[in-house]
């Protein structure tokens, strides 16, 4: 039953169309800690997109990826910044297909784009331990 719930509910991409836009798919860090067993790697990126650098705008982007270490599955992606909802729709497909961190890492990013940051995050910001009983 948990697998059905996880696959149906946690993999629905969503967005809030505000300024800057918010977008998410999968588990939050807190949900992953509560529900999953084993180690979780948290990847975080904060940057100023190149298109903002060239135009002189000060708008920044924040991204977070949550990876279940034992299975290498990406269980959550979250973004605040321009084009977040558009990017998150594609990440929703990836998570629905059970994408792993290794698959993200082996994907060539489109340069220059904010989306390429999802495939270039190489060092976890932190590792935490899941308190749950489930595998993704």
Question: Cis bond leading into 112, ω under 30°?
Answer: yes
Domain ranges of the chain: 2-131
> Each residue's pLDDT tens digit in the chain (136 positions)?
445 455 556 689 999 999 999 999 999 999 999 999 999 999 999 998 777 667 777 889 999 999 999 999 999 999 999 999 999 999 999 999 999 999 999 999 998 889 999 999 999 999 999 999 988 8
Pick the closest to residue 98 from 119, 118, 71 (CA basis): 71
CATH class of 2-131: alpha beta
Give the other-Cβ count within 10 Å of 57's Cβ.
12
**Structure confidence at residue 1 (pLDDT):** 43
**Structure confidence at residue 36 (pLDDT):** 95
Q: Which two tokens stand for residue 34?
A: 């509560």
What pTM value is reported for the model?
0.90
Write down the residue that tokens 């990826």 correspond to. 65
**Structure confidence at residue 121 (pLDDT):** 97
Does the annotation count 129 as an active-site position?
A: no
User: Which residue among 68, 111, 129, 134 is the active-site one?
Assistant: 111
């Amino acid at each position: 039953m948990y697998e059905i719930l996880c696959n149906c509910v946690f993999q629905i991409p969503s967005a809030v169309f505000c300024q800057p836009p918010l977008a998410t798919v999968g588990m939050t860090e807190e949900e992953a800690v509560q529900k999953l067993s084993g180690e979780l790697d948290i990847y975080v990126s904060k940057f100023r997109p190149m298109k903002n650098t060239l135009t002189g705008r000060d708008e920044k982007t924040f991204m977070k990826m949550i990876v279940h270490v034992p299975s290498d599955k990406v269980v959550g992606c979250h973004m605040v910044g321009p084009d977040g909802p558009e990017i998150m729709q594609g990440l929703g497909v990836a998570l629905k297909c059970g994408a792993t961190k290794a698959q993200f890492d082996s994907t060539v990013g489109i340069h220059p784009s904010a989306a390429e940051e999802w495939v270039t995050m190489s060092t976890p910001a932190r590792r935490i331990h899941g308190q749950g009983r489930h595998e993704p």
